[in-house]
Chain A
Amino acid sequence: MPVPASPTPPDDADLVRAYQGGSEAAATELVRRHGAPVARFLVGLGADYADIDDLVQETFFRAFRRIAGWRGDAGFRSWIFTIASNLLKDEHRRRKARRSVPLEDHDLPSRDNPESAFALRETERRLVAALQTLPRLQREVFLLRAQQGIEYPEIATTLGTTAGAARVHFHHAVKRLKEMIA
């Protein structure tokens, strides 16, 4: 007797469409699916643990506001990562402006909450600190590839580069990080 195939679960595109049709349950499911990876990505970008809850919420709020902007060319999760990254950059700029520190390309994480640094293990903390010294594109390529396991074509679509360039950025990032952390 053949075993009936398990029903295929709805993918992100199905859920986005359902949300656009009026289903709030679909939106909740998207948050459930992608909330934790978004939080980890934000930590990798240098966000304080203390701010993670608010940052994750704000990321999804911005995403659903402009849900029509996701055309499905990159994965939904990758798209959310872009929003999270831009949000964190805005947040760092805002804090820097308050402290009257000139803007730099390397967006250093906030030092306002030194306790949060100890939530990371020492090796992770050193990696996050080293990541902050990389150019933004290299940092994000590294996290998308190494932390999130995303393939180069999708990274390329997400970050507006080519798959070949993304691969080069990743290898350069690995080389520099190895030198800094070794």
Chain B
Amino acid sequence: MKGQLSYIVKPITLVMIVVLLILLYQSISESTVKEKEAQKSLNVVSSATDVLLMLSNSYDCLAYRTTTESIFSNVVDVGRLEEFSERYEAIEPECARSYEFGWRANVYEMGKNSLPTGANWSFGAKDFSYGAALMDSIKLDMPVAIRRSAKLVTPGIMEVKLVDGELEKIAGFIDWSCQLGNKGRPVKSSASVYLHGTVAYNATDNTLCLTPSGSKKKICRQMICQLDFAGLKSPGEHMLSLIYSDGRVAIT
């Protein structure tokens, strides 16, 4: 009887130990995945903060620079706001462009009693990934001073919506390769992308469009270089190879 019990208990103990070890492994793997997700989320917050700071404090972007070339923190020039609204209607300005994320900024002028005066400026990417193609997004704002003239500086709010999505990633990689090529670097790179949708390039208006799976609405981003690209006609993982030549990027 004792021997029979041993025959049953020992294999069960063995199986239990193996199950426990698998659970332990899964738990560790899950925490690793969670940590990576937290890092991604932190990246999104950090990048949005950097975009806001860069826009308001860099004179390549919106910062007001005095004739003695001094810059004051978070004082933006209304002339630059007008220029950016016109020039970067559908794409992020290069001075604060992130090739990992897409963003759009809105600047609102505030009047007395902290109420908006109605004056506002907007620039950056127009469309963003959504549905299954959207990984994360955030909206941050900060107070700024809008310098209208030597005598008139008004309070304002600068708001940035930053999106981590599949279209932003693939367009960012292509645009970055394009800019590297424009700077005279030899560009021959490759990257693996995973898509929850299909991608098409429209040469007429130089836009890259993504249609998420299960959806009919396509979202587009303006590109910097003209592309030779047949698009990606099926969801899933794709390996892209890029070659820059004479202001064009060929993608296979």
The answer to whether A binds B is: no
Residues of A within 8 A of B (CB): none
Q: Which residues of B contact A (CB under 8 A)?
A: none
